[in-house]
Chains A and B, each alone.
Chain A
Amino acid sequence: MAASCGRFLERAGVRVLARASAARPGALCRCFSSSGLLRTNDGEPTKFQPPPKPVVTDQRKEVVESRFLSPEFIPPRGRTDPFKFYIERIDMKRRRKVLNIPEFYVGSILSVTTADPYANDKTSHFVGICIQRGGKGLGATFVLRNVIEGQGVEFCYELYNPRILEIKVLKLEKRLDDNLMYLRDALPEYSTFDVNMKPVPHSPNDEIPVNKLKVKMKPKPWTKRWERPKFNIQGIHFELPEKIMEKAQKWSKPWQEFDMLREYDTSKLEREIWKEMES
């Protein structure tokens, strides 16, 4: 058996050392373990070649570097000295080092903890949907709305108020509109959110999901005539008769989208502000 395997291996161009154990009849031929016994034609021992590593391809989407600049950093259009906004931005940066203000949009569900001297344990907690983000600079505010025990409650919080202890985003999402004030006239189920709801996980590489919900309204009268084109609301399911919808279009100003004096291009400003923030 040893001779036959030896002849086989010799044919392959490899010399085989005769083993003493092969002399016993019926013994297992060990010469098949070629790794220890293989020798190259030069006579030097071959180096152990480990098996090739498996190639792992990352099938996930490319990590797109999308940076979010909070809207209160962008200065409003006007004749105010830009230095005022510059010193405000320095203070905003300092505050952000102490308190983590997460990225959120109108339509996201937030939970805010504030220091309140009149509360039981000196902190008050509120969960609600962000319906509006207003103000620029240090006076930036956001309004949270929730329905507690059938009563609609709204809180206007200042982002940079030192009384705010924690801002947590429970559900990060966008809606079809920038201003959800119409939720006051919508059915209360659209503004009700559980105070103890668990945060919905969101990976930083995913795009912000847009909730294309169309909200059903209470019967008129409303606080504002939301059907008018001035508000440009996409997120209401209007069940009004056609006649009223057509009459509302009477107040439309189709020339406004072509008005060049109303344009405010913020891309250059945003780039400069980013450079400032990173330095």
Chain B
Amino acid sequence: MRAGGIAPEPGSLRPFVGRPQPGWGNPNRWKLCGFSYERNRLNLCKKIGLVTRISMAFLSRRLGLLLTQVNRVIEQRHFSISGSCSAIQKLTRVRVVDNSTLGNTPYHRPPKCIHVYNKSGVGKVGDKILLAIKGEKKKAVIVGHRRPGPCMTPRFDSNNVVLIEENGNPTGTRIKIPIPLILRKKGGEFSKVLAIAQNLV
């Protein structure tokens, strides 16, 4: 288990390892199931776009029985759970990259994303997200993720995030980690974040 209170080093974050958990609250449930029907259903849902909470619960309750049966079958199989290579969504552990006290003081739980302010639930560079840090909610801007983006844009080895206030001002005063230049394209709301950045990549 992680030593108490130290923020995890980039690259040492362990992916979620465990048996598939029933219950609709766990977004990683679909990834852990080897059952192809589940994967197709998820893709279909993604294609439709909005999947409301109610419909998710309803579907999962209907399929709950099926799932438990599937789970019993899957228990015997060996899962390959590779490290996540995706952009930022709910429950992703992120790395706070500025020099704010909230981001740098150690805590026994890593900062996690709890909401992405986006039509799709997946956040890319420049999207605003809501983090749960040290038991409190804080808004942040994504400044880099592990998922490869379009060509000629940087791909980072850790999911980086800069804490901001409600009005868009960054909480910290300096950012040592390189920030992608794509943020300039997004608009004036990130000009203050870019102003405190020291390395632009």
Contact = CB atoms under 8 A, between A and B. Distances in A.
Chain A bound to chain B: yes
Interface in A120-134: 120, 124, 126
B4 interface: no
Contacts of B82: 223-224
B83 A155 contact: no
Interface string B140-157: 000010001001111111
Interface string B8-27: 00111011000000000000
A245 interface: no
Interface in B1-53: 10-12, 14-15
A148 B155 CA distance: 12
B12 A151 contact: no
A155 B151 CA distance: 8
A155 B178 CA distance: 13
Contact of B178 (A119, A151, A158): A151
Contacts of B12: 218
B152 A148 contact: no
Interface in A230-278: none
B40 to A, nearest CB: 26
24 contacts: A118-B182, A118-B184, A119-B181, A124-B201, A148-B199, A149-B177, A149-B178, A151-B156, A151-B177, A151-B178, A152-B157, A153-B154, A153-B156, A153-B178, A154-B148, A154-B155, A155-B153, A155-B155, A157-B152, A161-B152, A218-B11, A218-B12, A223-B82, A223-B85
Contacts of B171: none
Contacts of A151: 10, 144, 156-158, 160, 177-178
B182 A223 contact: no
A2 to B, nearest CB: 91
A156 B178 contact: no
A197 B104 CA distance: 32
Contacts of A185: 11
Contacts of B185: 118
Interface of A: 114, 116, 118-120, 124, 126, 141, 148-158, 161, 163, 184-185, 218, 221-224
A154 B154 contact: yes
A223 B185 CA distance: 31
B200 interface: yes
Contacts of A141: 151
A94 B64 CA distance: 60
A153 B11 contact: no
A221 B148 contact: no
Nearest to B15: A221
Contacts of B153: 155
B176 interface: yes
Contacts of A119: 181, 200
